[in-house]
Amino acid sequence: MARTVGSIIGGDGAPSAPGGKLEARNPAHLEELVAVAELGDAGTFVEACRIAREAQPGWAATPAPVRGRVVQQIGRIVEENKERLARLVTREIGKPYRESLGEVQEVIDTCNFFLSEGRRLYGQTVPSEMPDKQLFTFRAPVGVAAVITAGNFPVAVPSWYVIPALVCGNTVVWKPPEYTPSSAEAFAQLILHGGLPEGVFNMVMAEGPVAFEGLERALDEGLVDKVGFTGSTDVGRRIGELCGRHLQSPCLELGGKNPLVVMPDADLDLAVDGCLFSGFGTAGQRCTSLGTVIVHDSVHDEFLSRFAAAVESAAIGEPFEDVLYGPMISERFGRRFEGWLDLVQPHHKLYGSSATGRIGTGNPREGFVGDPDAGLYYHPTIVDGVTMEDELYGTESFGPIVGVASFASFDEAMALANGHGYGLSSSIYTNDPKNVFRFRERISAGMVSVNNSTSGAEAHLPFGGNGRSGNGGRQAGIWVLDQFTRWQSMNWDYSGKLQKAQMDVADVPADLGFRLP
């Protein structure tokens, strides 16, 4: 029986659905109703922020090591429920079960890392230029954090915001995607059972435009101090503009058109493996998914032949089986992907199967695992001959489509790698250290892989991009602490007299023997 899921504010479920109801269906088996979301309205979001504001001083006063222990408990509870949560993620968004297990493990890793940060929210002592005076710096929580995340990673990505925000002494209002209500509720309950006081963590189930209206009102009322957003570049721009009006800097993790460069000396089989996973894992529905493979002319044909063969033989279908990828997350993503296929132009060449679009009995794929007509399955598509003038080159297609471009010189490769304006993830396949360091120096992306895919992140390494991919904010590791704390400086003068900085500084005793004319 499908669950009914609503907002959770102050530890209690919201009693009504002023924003209406939304059905969430299993994209691999559309006849299966997974959950019904009872949606809030803008007022629901504002009320959650108000409750979080009231709870924040008490949570900030809780010693940071104690806050870290709560995060530790959350991690342990998630670990105890790893398989159940992963299965729920797979049912709700169609992610292959093995990938879902990895996603839940990311939550556990994040909790394990930030447990220790509760004892390491370091400040510094700084030498003063005056006697009998000490200078200090402290990390202080920002206050209330509003976090809005996407559905392709319904539990891992929220943990990158929520866990460090809590350790740093902030309270949180989380707006998950409305089309993953069951995963969101399960994750929220696991967090709440870690021992958080009422109001410290709140979840608002609402549609995007409604949540934006609520965020705008909450900012106008001074109820939100930090916004974290993972989603599209267009929405990220709007959130950036909104926060800018309140002199706030949001943490924006946006889209990508991630390049992978194949040099003449690359191990082509290894490069094919990397392209297969980063291009088609999660059906290409990751912000770090491969956008364009940029291949040297001398190995282009051989690489493309091997890549097409690998894609053609890859298992696609039922996500609880051993497959490369399953369905699109929801019908909205399927429809949008069909629009991206319209970007394929006559001068492009399609490799692998000539079939494109939705897989079904009328448009079959050989070796499909399961019933293709039951879900939202789409053919993998390789498009060769992509140039910088093509719309496909600069569009984040968010689906199982990979472009291929060729280059003759390293400068040409770098122009192709950077020219679209995104700067999230990137990769180069080469065995020449000179190529590695030249690529690292010139790529605009915030993340660089060498002989590895564009996808994949570890909980203790900074995650984020630049340009159209974000505003430079970073998640994960110690670097995310700067998103959820403010630096505070303090000077303590115990000389018993007023000492004026820059005015009462002692003279340097040595006479260097030089005077201005």
**Cβ neighbours for 434, distance < 8 A, ≥ 6 positions apart:** none
pLDDT score recorded for residue 510 = 63
pLDDT score recorded for residue 15 = 63
Q: Are residues 231 and 137 in the same domain?
A: yes
Please indicate, yes or no, if residue 316 is contained in any of the structural domains: yes
Q: Are residues 286 and 249 in the same domain?
A: no
Q: Are residues 224 and 147 in the same domain?
A: yes
Q: Please give the C-alpha separations between residue 384 and each of 305, 336, 341, 346, 453, in angstroms, as whole numbers.
A: 11, 21, 13, 11, 19
Q: Are residues 175 and 324 in the same domain?
A: no
pLDDT tens track, the chain, 517 positions: 678 889 999 987 776 788 789 899 999 999 999 999 999 999 999 999 999 999 999 999 999 999 999 999 999 999 999 999 999 999 999 999 999 999 999 999 999 999 988 889 899 998 988 899 999 999 999 999 999 999 999 999 999 999 999 999 999 999 999 999 999 999 999 999 999 999 999 999 999 999 999 999 999 999 999 999 999 999 999 999 999 999 999 999 998 999 999 999 999 999 999 999 999 999 999 988 999 999 999 999 999 999 999 999 999 999 999 999 999 999 989 999 998 888 988 888 887 666 788 999 999 999 999 999 999 999 999 999 999 999 999 999 889 999 999 999 999 999 999 999 999 999 999 999 999 999 999 999 999 999 999 887 777 888 888 899 888 888 888 888 999 999 999 999 998 888 888 787 766 566 656 667 6
Please indicate, yes or no, if residue 446 is contained in any of the structural domains: yes
Q: Are residues 167 and 274 in the same domain?
A: no
Phi-psi domain of 147 (left: phi exceeds 0; alpha: psi -120 through 50; beta: other): beta
Which residues face 303 on adjacent strands?
none
Question: One of 49, 111, 243, 287 is an active-site residue; which one?
Answer: 287
Q: Are residues 15 and 66 in the same domain?
A: yes
Domain that holds residue 288: 258-460
Question: pLDDT (tens digit, 9 = 90+) per residue, 284-320?
Answer: 999 889 999 999 999 999 999 999 999 999 999 999 9
Q: Are residues 246 and 347 in the same domain?
A: no
pTM (2 d.p.): 0.92
Please indicate, yes or no, if residue 188 is contained in any of the structural domains: yes
Quick count: other Cβ atoms within 10 Å of Cβ 214? 27
482: which 2 tokens? 């700067």
pLDDT score recorded for residue 415 = 96
Handedness of CA 161, 181, 332, 458 (dihedral sign): positive
Please indicate, yes or no, if residue 34 is contained in any of the structural domains: yes
Active site residue 111: no
Q: In angstroms, rounded to a whole number, what is the distance separating the alpha carbons of residues 40 and 51?
A: 15
Q: Are residues 63 and 28 in the same domain?
A: yes
Give the CATH number for residue 39: 3.40.605.10
Question: Using alpha carbons only, what angle is made at residue 426 by residues 94 and 237, rounded to the nearest 5 degrees?
Answer: 75
Q: Are residues 199 and 282 in the same domain?
A: no
Q: Are residues 208 and 294 in the same domain?
A: no
Q: Are residues 478 and 405 in the same domain?
A: no
Q: Are residues 434 and 382 in the same domain?
A: yes
Q: 64-80 vs 97-117: helix axis angle to the nearest 10?
A: 160
Residue type for position 193: H
Give the CATH number for residue 279: 3.40.309.10
Please indicate, yes or no, if residue 368 is contained in any of the structural domains: yes
Please indicate, yes or no, if residue 501 is contained in any of the structural domains: no
Please indicate, yes or no, if residue 511 is contained in any of the structural domains: no
Closest CA to 179 of 41, 52, 407, 23: 23
pLDDT score recorded for residue 135 = 93
Provide the number of structural domains found in the chain: 2
Please indicate, yes or no, if residue 477 is contained in any of the structural domains: yes
Contact predicate 160/229, CB 8 Å: no
